[in-house]
């Protein structure tokens, strides 16, 4: 499976990359929404999963979700927001825009894995 971690913090990308790699994912990284769209376009790759931060320069996570949902080739990609934004209204906005799941930072490793399992994204026998 292929995942992409989109976060402007390199530290956060490293943590999330490690978590996905432990689950057997191949992992791409981008520092904002625009960079992610360009990377996916240039490589022609379609991740099974995107972990998306909200607050990023250039293109926010919410803007990325809106744009990604307009691209037919990316329709199968599961979008999980992983963000410190935790106002109810913002969670509703992200889900309405097409995000499938919402994880609030600080997260625990188990918390993310449980949500991925519910989405059918943890391969059997990996844990």
Partner 1 sequence: MTNDVAMNVDVDLDIIAEQVWSAFLNSGEDEAIFAADDKGSHADLAASVAMVGAYEGHLVVSCSHKASRDVASVLFAMEADEVSQDDIGDALGELANVLGGNVKSVLPSPSQLSLPRVSATEHERWPGTVEVCRTVVSWRGEPFVVSLLSGGHAVHKTQEVPA
Identified binder of Mg ion from the candidate list 15, 39, 46, 55, rule CB under 5 A: 55
How many residues of this chain bind Mg ion (CB under 5 A)? 3
Residues in Cβ contact with 62 at an 8 Å cutoff, skipping those fewer than 6 apart: 54, 90, 93, 94, 97
Selected range binding partner 1 among 37-45, 67-75, 80-88, 114-122, rule: CB under 8 A: 80-88
| Other beta carbons less than 10 A from residue 71's beta carbon | 13
Minimal distance, residue 78 CB to partner 1, in Å: 23
Please identify which residue in 29, 53, 85, 101 interacts with Mg ion, judged by CB under 5 A.
53
Beta strands in the chain (DSSP E): 2-6, 26-30, 49-52, 78-83, 101-104
Residue among 3 and 33 whose Cβ is closer to Mg ion: 33
């Amino acid at each position: 499976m292929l995942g992409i971690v989109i976060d402007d913090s390199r530290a956060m990308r490293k943590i999330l990359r490690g978590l996905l790699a432990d689950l057997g994912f191949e992992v791409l990284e981008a520092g904002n929404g625009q960079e992610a769209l360009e990377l996916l376009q240039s490589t022609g790759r379609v991740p099974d999963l995107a972990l998306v931060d909200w607050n990023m320069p250039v293109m926010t996570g919410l803007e990325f979700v809106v744009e990604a949902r307009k691209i037919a080739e990316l329709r199968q990609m599961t979008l999980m927001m992983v963000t410190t934004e935790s106002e109810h209204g913002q969670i509703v906005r992200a889900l309405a825009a097409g995000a499938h799941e919402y994880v609030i930072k600080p997260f625990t490793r188990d918390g993310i894995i449980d949500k991925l399992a519910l989405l059918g994204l943890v391969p059997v026998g990996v844990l």
